[in-house]
Structure 1
Amino acid sequence: MKKLLVLSTALTSLAFAAQADVTVMSWGGAYGAAQTEAHVKPFAAKTGIATTMTDSDNPATPIKAMVEAGNVTVDVASVEYADAIRLCDEGVLETIDPASLPAGADGTPVADDFLPGALTDCGVSTDIWATIFAYDTTKFPEGPKTAADFFDLTKFPGKRGLHKGAKAVLEFALMADGVAPADVYATLGTPEGVDKAFAKLDTIKKDVVWWEAGAQPPQLLADGEVAMTSAYNGRIFNAAIGEGKPFQIVWDAQIFENEMYVIPKGAPNKEEALQFIAYSTSTEGMQAQATQISYGPARKSANATPIMYKDGKTLMGPNVPTAPENMANALGSSFEFWVDHDAELNDRFNAWLAAN
């Protein structure tokens, strides 16, 4: 009888283990919805592991606080590339062995299938996204074409939306001022270059509406609060194609980077989190996400065949940052630069913002 009781207890423990819940923290809005449809729901259906999505304006901030407080309630988080590197260096994240990831659907080994930079010690890229700017075509039928047009309040009058922070704003200002993408970070690494970026921002400062969450730019455009705004490209695509808004993306001076899935140190369900990441960053997982939102897959095998948007009629190729025609004057965000300069440049940015 005692042996039966022990066996029953063991089986009960296994049953509870199989029911471990995985909590994924992402950015909300169209992006969080895309990951929910492409990753969270099908993973739960395939494995039987209950998986839920929770939103944050920037998941890097709360997961660091959780780890430092010793109270981690999130298993997987979607973070920007620079944050994946920084948090890994700070010991906030679990390491992820590439050997735990599946080969490409065509058999290509992991190391060869992922695009350069898509694998780090603690992160696996889910997609390549970009900060672009967009405008309301009802206000400008001919439309702005370049980053310089964004700063031209005479030719294109109206309020501008910009992200409230230094990253992707200072680079954009420099490119609008004529600095070539290849020279942006060398320029921004000098006091004169920083002054140059802020001087360009000075020209529109009084007409800027500052946004903090990714869902805000399309809403600012829809409400007529701005005539054009910087934004994450997938948010504008979703509003224009998914919701029929009269918005147009301008790809000139786009700033692109990898988005990463990471596991906070001390995640309550680490093994299940690893399973979730392996599933989501497979060829099929990346292609599934690309049917939901216009971010480029970070695996070669996922880009090998055309991907159709969920509407069944829009090809995603021309609508992702990595399309050749969209890369003509593009800048790859430098995680090395931002790991080194994030604090000082954001301090300068906040001081500039507070000044009259």
Structure 2
Amino acid sequence: MTGTIALVLAATGCGGTTGTGSATRTVTSITALDYYTDASEHSQWGEMLTACGKTVGVQVEQTSVPTASLIPKVLQQVSSRTLPDLLMLDNPDVQQIAQTGALTPLDQYGVDSGGFAKGILSAGTYQGKVYGLAPDVSTLALFYNKDMLAKAGVAVPRNWDELKTAAARLTRPGRYGMAVDANATFEGTWQFLPFLWSNGGDEKRLDTPQAAQALQLWVDLVKSGSMSKSVLNWTQADVHDQFAAGRTAMMLNGPWRIPALNKDKNLHWGVAPVPVPRTGQTPVTPLGGEVWTVPQSPSRARQEKAARVLACLNDSASMLALAKEHFTVPSRPAVASRYVQQVPSMAAFARSVAAARSRTGELGVKWPKAATGIHIAIQSALAGEQTPEEALRHAQQFATSN
């Protein structure tokens, strides 16, 4: 797709109006920081930043650091007042950085935040002000092996009972029916959230019957042998490898797995929404994706230029180009509707994004502690050390401790 983004943006005049003044004409370059260290991803985003920079008359100098290094680096830059002009953040981190006062509200530059899905807008909002916008997002869905389901005479599960039945019927020597990432990280928490939230559970109060029922579902899948106990150590990449190798018939994963799945022409797969407690309910899934922000700076002119680049990144044309490149979902539902007509394999993800929630929507800066409590509870319950009720009671105590 090299060159496509630049052509699209040139044709659309991406960038819009952001209330900038004449002083911005003196700024010829701005800096941007992100965590896109993968060579292809760094190049793709570099191309987009360059194209958007050209539309507003600046060169964008992109720096990428490893994911784990981004927040420590940003906090150091906050202290030394050396923040970049344009800053990308994983959406759960926006609250923490906005709390420091390091970010500027986007409305003061006239950046258009209209038409975004509610959950996506929430992800970039702190204390009622929008500090960041995500051009494209991701979430979770159920991948299934079409051949395995057909041979076993199993329909794609829509609810929890159907999921347990299907997983059991699909399990046989050398193959499990279902796979998730239940490891002791925020990834494990992320994968559990669709079950917690869709059952009416809430991270504000983890020791509830609704939360215990969701965790019991995972425990039942492991106890019955329909899901490997190794999920306690698997990453989402490991889950993908199990599915691609035919060692699991179904998996919970994100759309970023589609390019690799598409490469195996002998693997016939489908994707459906995450099963819900009862048929007819709408799954509530977590939002993944990065938001772009404009940090505080002594130069108003640089901030205004950065805001115009940010506006360009979030233009409908940019959203569509990025989504096609990365197999993500455009953040504006109107754009997402057009997108799924062109990329049908993303339909389940697009439907789920419409009702998806940001992880910090309820707890804000307190989310990481609750997330830690959740994955500790998952580990304890699936290992058989505690019942789901006991594990979640301890998780609640941990989440609310000082």
The bucket for the TM-score relative to the shorter chain is: 0.5 to 0.7
Report if the CA contact (8 A) 2:240-2:257 is conserved: yes
Structure 1 323/198 Cα, relative in aligned 2: closer, same or farther at 3 Å? Answer: closer
Structure 1 position 131, deviation (Å): 1.6
Structure 1 84/60 Cα, relative in aligned 2: closer, same or farther at 3 Å? Answer: farther
Task: Answer yes or no: is 1:229 the counterpart of 2:241.
Answer: no
Task: Answer yes or no: is 1:116 the counterpart of 2:118.
Answer: yes
Matches of 1:67 and 1:41, distance apart in 2? 24
Task: Answer yes or no: is 1:336 the counterpart of 2:357.
Answer: no
- Identical aligned residues as a percent: 12
Task: Answer yes or no: is 1:248 the counterpart of 2:270.
Answer: yes
Tell me which protein shows more helix as a share of its residues. Answer: 2
**What are the superposed Cα offsets for residues 47-73 of structure 1, whole Å, 9 maximum, x if unpaired?**
451443636456764455544664867
Query: 1:68-217 to 2 correspondence within 5 Å?
Result: 70=80, 75-80=86-91, 82-91=92-101, 93-100=102-109, 110-117=112-119, 118=121, 120=125, 121-141=130-150, 142=154, 144-146=156-158, 148=160, 151=164, 153-157=167-171, 158=176, 160-162=179-181, 164=183, 165=186, 167-174=189-196, 181=198, 183-185=200-202, 189-203=206-220, 204=222, 206-208=229-231, 210-212=233-235, 217=239
Q: Which residue of 2 aligns with 1:295?
A: 328
Matches of 2:29 and 2:287, distance apart in 1? 35
Matches of 1:351 and 1:182, distance apart in 2? 17
Kindly provide the amino acid, as one letter, of the partner of residue 76 in structure 1: L
Report if the CA contact (8 A) 1:134-1:247 is conserved: yes
Matches of 2:263 and 2:115, distance apart in 1? 30
Structure 1 position 126, deviation (Å): 1.6
Report if the CA contact (8 A) 2:199-2:210 is conserved: no
Q: Which residue of 2 aligns with 1:261?
A: 292
Structure 1 position 208, deviation (Å): 1.3
Q: Which residue of 2 aligns with 1:6?
A: none
Matches of 1:262 and 1:129, distance apart in 2? 19
Matches of 1:261 and 1:127, distance apart in 2? 11
SS, match of residue 155 in structure 1:
helix
Structure 1 271/170 Cα, relative in aligned 2: closer, same or farther at 3 Å? Answer: same
**What are the superposed Cα offsets for residues 247-281 of structure 1, whole Å, 9 maximum, x if unpaired?**
32221346143632234667997555434312201
Kindly provide the amino acid, as one letter, of the partner of residue 183 in structure 1: G
Report if the CA contact (8 A) 1:256-1:321 is conserved: no
SS, match of residue 185 in structure 1:
coil
RMSD value over aligned CA atoms?
4.4
Structure 1 position 302, deviation (Å): 3.7
* Residue from 342, 348, 358 that aligns with 1:315: 342
Structure 1 171/161 Cα, relative in aligned 2: closer, same or farther at 3 Å? Answer: closer
User: Which consecutive unaligned segments of at least 5 residues does structure 1 have?
Assistant: 1-13, 103-109, 176-180, 309-313
SS, match of residue 236 in structure 1:
helix
User: Which consecutive unaligned segments of at least 5 residues does structure 2 have?
Assistant: 1-23, 223-227, 275-282, 386-402
Report if the CA contact (8 A) 2:180-2:191 is conserved: no
Matches of 1:70 and 1:183, distance apart in 2? 43
More deviation, 264-273/149-158: 264-273
Report if the CA contact (8 A) 1:239-1:247 is conserved: no
TM-score, length basis structure 1: 0.67
SS, match of residue 88 in structure 2:
strand
Task: Answer yes or no: is 1:350 the counterpart of 2:376.
Answer: yes
**What are the superposed Cα offsets for residues 103-158 of structure 1, whole Å, 9 maximum, x if unpaired?**
xxxxxxx3543343526332112224212232344544456423635555422321
Structure 1 position 94, deviation (Å): 0.9
Matches of 1:220 and 1:336, distance apart in 2? 33
Matches of 2:204 and 2:87, distance apart in 1? 36
